[in-house]
Amino acid sequence: MFTGIVEEMGAIVSVEKTIKGARLTILASMVMGDLRVGDSVSVNGVCLTAASVGEKDFSVDVSSETLAVTTLGGVTVGTPVNLERAMRLNERIGGHLVAGHVDGVGIVKRRRQEGDTTVLIIEAPSSILRYCVVKGSIAVEGVSLTINEVTDRSFSVAIIPHTAKVTTLGLKQANDALNLESDLIGKYVERLLQERSQLSKPKTAPVIDADYLQKRGLI
């Protein structure tokens, strides 16, 4: 579990294709402090496991499925990536609860400046927009952000100067792809409401006619 507060930007230093996907080696500094093999790391919002740890870099194995459904399928040597180690339960949650399970990929439709703030308008699948609410949370490339506006095809977020400087979001331009993860709470609420709706549905009484009685051997 993560908070969506990116610790640093790392960089891809090698991409090794494997039978089951790819092994990415990532240059980093801050997250290397106590990183051990087997630890979870959010890479552009995707929860991955450290497969090897060196002095200045670490490697992760990415399945072919993850490469296909996230932006990690398009990374190359030199690509910057957002990095965050798994949260500790005794720490403040500065963002929101992020699982690192990407729901889909959005596209930057427009980027505009409002003073020092960068506003991104992101087109997203309906399966993600259904959980988007104004002032709600969403993880974009692993960054916890507040939703400003929502339409039937897109949502917008504001990137403050600090976030633009320390994450890859400051580099994003129109037509760039972004990993998106909806707020967990919204998913659970929807699930609970669906179950309650099913329970509250009245059972339809069977029509007792000749056919009904014959099928049950009563006539």
Give the pLDDT of residue 110: 97
Q: 68 with 122, same domain? A: no
Residue at 212 is within a domain: no
What does the buried/exposed string (b/e) look like for 200-217 if buried means 16 or more CB atoms within 10 Å of the residue's CB?
Answer: eeeeeeeeeeeeeeeeee
More confident: 110 or 187: 110
pLDDT confidence bin for 199, thresholds 50/70/90 = low
The mean of the pLDDT values for the chain is 92
Asked if the model's pLDDT at residue 196 lies above 90, the reply is: no
pLDDT of residue 185: 86
| Residue 86, pLDDT score | 94
Residue 193 sits in the same domain as residue 112: yes
Say whether both 110 and 184 belong to one domain.
Answer: yes
What pLDDT is recorded for position 65? 96
Q: Are 192 and 114 in the same domain?
A: yes
In a domain, 97, yes or no: no
pLDDT score, position 157: 98
In a domain, 91, yes or no: no
- With b for 16 or more beta-carbon neighbours within 10 A and e for fewer, the 100-110 pattern comes to bebbbbbebee
Identify whether residues 184 and 108 lie together within a single domain. yes
Contact 181, 102 (CB under 8 A): yes
Asked if pLDDT for residue 6 goes beyond 90, the answer is: yes
Using 50, 70 and 90 to split pLDDT, how confident is the model at 57?
very high
Domain that holds residue 12: 8-85
pLDDT in tens, 143-183: 999 999 999 999 999 999 999 999 999 999 999 999 999 99
Q: What is the count of structural domains for the chain?
A: 2
In this predicted model, what pLDDT tens digit does every residue of 89-100 receive, in sequence order?
877 788 898 999
Residue 188, pLDDT above cutoff 80:
yes
The residue with tokens 């029509």 is 207
- Provide the CATH number for the domain around residue 12: 2.40.30.20
Same domain, 81 and 130: no
For residue 219, the SS3 value is coil
- Of residues 8 and 197, more confidence is placed in 8
In a domain, 3, yes or no: no
Condensed to tens digits (0 to 9), the pLDDT of residues 15-36 reads 999 989 999 999 999 999 999 9
- Number of neighbouring beta carbons within 10 Å of residue 133: 13
Query: How much is the pLDDT for 194?
Result: 80
Q: Identify whether residues 77 and 131 lie together within a single domain.
A: no
